[in-house]
Amino acid sequence: MSILNVNTRRGAWLCAPALLILFIAVLALAVPVFAQDGGEVAADDVNAIAKKMYCPVCENIPLDVCGTAACAQWRDEIRIQLEQGYTEQEIINDFVSRYGDRVVGTPQDPTLRALSLVTPWLIGALVVALAGFSLLRWWRGRGAQAAFAPAGAPVSDDDYRARLERDLQARR
C-alpha cells in the first residue's frame, strides 16, 4: 500500500505545474473579454437607429437593410457618433439638418408631421364618401328609370324617337 501512496503523490506533483499553466492561460484569455465593455458599440444599437432612417441613394429602403456603400458609410458614422456619446435623437437631428427630412421619411416639424400623417386618411374618407354618394344617386336613379317604362311592355326605337321629338318641340 505504501507503493501506491508514493506513486499518487508523485502524480499530483506532476499535475500541479500543468494545472497552474492552464489557470494562467484561462486568465490571459479572460482579460480581453473584460475589455469589451468599454468603447465598442454593438451592431444592434447602430441598426436600431438606422431602422428609423432611409437610404440616401435608393427610395423607401431603410438604412439598416440597404447594401449600398453610402448606407455603409452612414452606419459607420452612426457608430462613431454613438461611441462619442450622442443620443439617438441627436444623431437623427444631425442627419436631418445635413440631408433634410427625406432621411427620416416624415417631417420633424410637429405641424407638418401631423399634416402628412392625417392627410391620406382624410383623402381616403373623402373618396369613400363620394363613392357612397354616387352609388346612392345611381341606385335612386335606377328606380326612377324603371318607372318610365312598364315592366312587361317592350319599348321600340320609334317610341324613343317620338318622345325625343316631342321634348325638342317643347323646348323651342
pLDDT tens figures, 35-73: 444 567 788 889 889 888 888 788 888 888 888 888 889
CATH of the domain at 55: 1.10.8.640
- Structural domain of 123: 107-140
Contact between residue 68 and residue 58 where contact means Cβ atoms under 8 Å apart: yes
| Residue finishing a domain among 56, 78, 105 | 105
Whether the model clears a pTM of 0.85, i.e. scores above it, the answer is: no
Q: Are residues 98 and 119 in the same domain?
A: no
Q: What is the overall mean pLDDT for the chain?
A: 79
Exposure string over 11-39, b if 16+ CB within 10 A, otherwise e: eeeeeeeeeeeeeeeeeeeeeeeeeeeee
Residues with Cβ within 8 Å of 22's Cβ and at least 6 positions away in sequence, in order, are: none
Give the whole-number percent of the chain exceeding pLDDT 90.
Answer: 22
The H helix count followed by the E strand count for the chain is: 6, 0
155 pLDDT tier (thresholds 50, 70, 90) = low
Q: Would you say how long the chain is, in residues?
A: 172
| Residue 15 included in any domain | no
In a domain? residue 73: yes
pLDDT computed for residue 148 by the predictor: 58
User: Do 49 and 88 sit in the same domain of this protein?
Assistant: yes
Residue 134 and residue 122 share a domain: yes
78/96 same-domain check: yes
Total domains in the chain come to 2
Joined together, the cell numbers standing for residue 133 give 354618394
User: What's the confidence (pLDDT) of residue 104?
Assistant: 85
Instruction: Tell whether 67 and 97 lie within a shared domain.
Output: yes
* Cell numbers that stand for 92 in this block: 437623427
Find the mean pLDDT for residues 96-122.
Answer: 84
pLDDT tens sequence across 7-28: 555 555 566 677 778 777 776 6
Q: What is the pLDDT of residue 35?
A: 45
pLDDT number for residue 132? 94
